[in-house]
Structure 1
């Protein structure tokens, strides 16, 4: 058998080797070119991008929330402060058994279900080495108990901070308001960058209205951190700018005097300096303690406040809308004088009722036996309804509307407090627009005594009274009198309130109305005569009652037989001294009945606190209106 002999082709092998060598060189050159191109891209074109990313991995920005500005009354009494507080924090990665730790902690400090719920929500979105708050606002006793047992709880720490506190509690809750934890709704309106690290924001009252000034400006510090995010050292620090301090026009002395004078009644009172529009007292009762809202009020406690029939959360002085009743009569009387409908000596006979021409319905006077012949001063002094029925019919609803609107009725006063109601000053146009109905003559009559569709807030009444006291200078009321920026040592007074001047044809008409209001208090037959005894100054005032429900034409109003919630509201407006007014007051007592017997003494207590007088009160019931 023959063997196959293979001849070796050296030339072919040589060519194949050279071809493969060239391929390898070209491939290596291409790979080298790609590598060089990538390096050029990273070092030249993408350098800045990756430098920033690298820096971000190394440097962390930690916000430093500012200290919130303080709030004082006009005399420097602290109304809202920042107190040192302690919170219990847990660092999850250092706790071997979380549930056992929580159980053991509950034996030392009070841990509510609400605290546990909030803790677990925060734990789910936090890093394991970042402290998570478990309890806020620990008491000194709780801090001491934990300190003794600190060795038993690895990963649990006490952290110090500042917490908002309202030392006067319920006394000024409706004015100062409160702060609460920032929620999703707040985040829609707040500057996210300036609120980094801030946990609370103003919810109501001055705290909310002046949030931008009180909050301040956030600071920050640059921290060097490792790849896991742990802080190694502080690189740079930019301190926060504290919020501005506010000085309110409120006088705590007057506030307390007014609140105490209400006794067990609900209602509102507002006291204004007519010379500058500063609000010296603003009372709304009942009130509530704002401090639980700061740390997070319990659901059951909040529901109790919400469902309370006396509505303690409702700001009556600013948002409550009540018929002004007979307190409107001086303004209607001034309208009659100015528009030439009556003169000071114009008389009307009051038989105890009034009827429209050709009608049988009787519009009753509060005094069923009637007042007889009365002029304007007598009608204001004795609060004669019939006189003002007749005057209102002569004026007409639209002229009455236009004149009263100059005093601010039916419109917001513009006070520096959010949530104000506008009240209602009716007109024929308003009724057509709102109710698609014509205006009826009988509605004009009852509007002339402050009933019917008329609605006013206690603040509006106080502003109108102050306007009357100053002969037509209507000022925008103000609560914040001065502001102290963080870089200033003294408070800086605000610009004076804007003034609207009411044009009057005859200046003597002011004196005619004011003299009649003085008689309300100081005349032996005035409806508020009981507060005029033993007083060293003159008060110009007007009593009023506002019906809560209607009566049939021949039905009697027997206060003792009517449920308390259905009794008339008692009102009183006044200013003093009548010759040179320094204080104007409006008081509304819900279901108080008589303005002269119930509301007027509250105003007297406010005046006494302001002028530094104390006077014995008479207690007999004069049956005043």
Structure 2
């Protein structure tokens, strides 16, 4: 009897101990859970809240409209207009060829579009948005937009597109824009301008488009967009409008420009060369011709291989900006400076007359006037009027090569212009 009571008592003690251990264990678990909730909800609330906002809110840059370029009479030489493009992120597509075939049933995609797209794929990372088709009409953009959910990684994008309505006319002067290269990106980072190019993938490459890039480019804006869990935008929370680039009005007269270009580009007898027409009253450039020329519109979205080879392999070298980079004999434009040197260095008086037999002999060589013209007795004024080669040839040995060089330097000869 006594043993039975003792066993019952021991059993009760064990049960109480088990209940106590279980209670302590449950209490410990709840304590850990409560502590963890306190850490998440109180201690780390601010950090998690910011991360949640970052996941929910996206800051989207807005590309500014690039400034237009006009001639002196207000005729447009370069402008920007709104355009729709079909863009693809290759890293989000399982089968590129199958995707192109399916999208092609909604929007026409040419073989050239596909070739350019695949060339750009090879030049960019897998997660760079690459243009598959540009210049979509409103109808084409709408047709794809209603089916966009079927094509993750493919989207319609509105952008500003550069256009040069004059085509080849004044192309070397105006220049062109092109996609931002790695070298361009390094340069704008060094200049601290990388923020101005958020959302922008083009930059001035040549001519005035390059020289006045900072003026023409403008400042980007931004939108705070709420993003759904699916990744699609829900609404715009806040917006800051972009600042468009400034317009340029040039001294160039595009009518005069086309007239002069027509002289070089005669269908029966085309010429290579350069001409710069300057108003002597104020130094304004009225025409700037480099012939032959090229169409800058080819470079806006990246020039294709065929056109690049046609331009770069041409024996006429249409890409060379001849007024700046071409090297030509200075010709008779140098004669007034020789006359000034003769007067300044007392080598010959302006009224001194010499006989011009139509040629000048030096070093056993005979150098003739243009057209073998004979001008007879002439002074400096007459020599400038008729452009006598003999008169100015005769001055060179008297003045001396070194003296001519030193005198010409003060007028900018032998130095870069600009």
Query: TM-score w.r.t. structure 1 length?
Result: 0.55
Which residue of structure 2 aligns with residue 364 of structure 1? 367
Q: Could you tell me whether the CA contact under 8 Å between 2:61 and 2:223 is conserved in 1?
A: yes
Tell whether 2:412 aligns with 1:408: yes
Q: Could you tell me whether the CA contact under 8 Å between 1:170 and 1:288 is conserved in 2?
A: yes
3-state SS of paired residue (2:187): coil
Tell whether 2:195 aligns with 1:186: no
Q: How many Å separate the matches in 2 of 1:280 and 1:79?
A: 14
Q: How many Å separate the matches in 2 of 1:254 and 1:347?
A: 40
Shift of 1:102: 4.9
Tell whether 2:98 aligns with 1:110: no
Alignment of 1:182-331 (within 5 A): 182-190=180-188, 191-262=193-264, 263=266, 264-331=270-337
3-state SS of paired residue (1:188): helix
Moved more, 262-271 or 65-74: 262-271
Q: How many Å separate the matches in 2 of 1:118 and 1:105?
A: 23
Which residue of structure 2 aligns with residue 170 of structure 1? 168
Q: Which has the higher contact order (CA 8 A, sep 6+)?
A: 2
Q: Deviations over 1:431-458 (max 9, x none)?
A: xxxxxxxxxxxxxxxxxxxxxxxxxxxx
Q: Could you tell me whether the CA contact under 8 Å between 1:272 and 1:281 is conserved in 2?
A: yes
3-state SS of paired residue (2:329): coil
Q: How many Å separate the matches in 1 of 2:387 and 2:321?
A: 29
Alignment of 1:504-519 (within 5 A): none
Structure 1 gap ranges (5+): 1-6, 415-625
Q: How many Å separate the matches in 2 of 1:400 and 1:55?
A: 73
Structure 2 gap ranges (5+): 1-5
Query: TM-score w.r.t. structure 2 length?
Result: 0.79
Q: How many Å separate the matches in 2 of 1:104 and 1:21?
A: 73
Shift of 1:237: 1.3
Which residue of structure 2 aligns with residue 381 of structure 1? 385
Task: Identify, as 1 or 2, the structure richer in helix.
Answer: 2
Distance 1:33 1:84, change over 3 A: closer
3-state SS of paired residue (1:391): helix
Shift of 1:403: 2.2
Q: Could you tell me whether the CA contact under 8 Å between 2:84 and 2:141 is conserved in 1?
A: no
Shift of 1:149: 10
Which residue of structure 2 aligns with residue 339 of structure 1? 345
Which residue of structure 2 aligns with residue 54 of structure 1? 52
Q: Deviations over 1:347-377 (max 9, x none)?
A: 3344555456xxx523523366865443222
Q: How many Å separate the matches in 1 of 2:249 and 2:203?
A: 19
Which residue of structure 2 aligns with residue 597 of structure 1? none
Which of 397, 400, 417 aligns to 1:396? It is: 400
Q: How many Å separate the matches in 2 of 1:66 and 1:366?
A: 58
Q: How many Å separate the matches in 1 of 2:184 and 2:86?
A: 26
Shift of 1:21: 7.4
Q: How many Å separate the matches in 1 of 2:95 and 2:373?
A: 84
Which residue of structure 1 aligns with residue 66 of structure 2? 68
Which residue of structure 2 aligns with residue 101 of structure 1? 102
Shift of 1:323: 1.8
Q: How many Å separate the matches in 1 of 2:26 and 2:387?
A: 110
Shift of 1:392: 1.7
Q: How many Å separate the matches in 2 of 1:105 and 1:27?
A: 62
Distance 1:118 1:338, change over 3 A: same
Q: Could you tell me whether the CA contact under 8 Å between 2:174 and 2:207 is conserved in 1?
A: yes
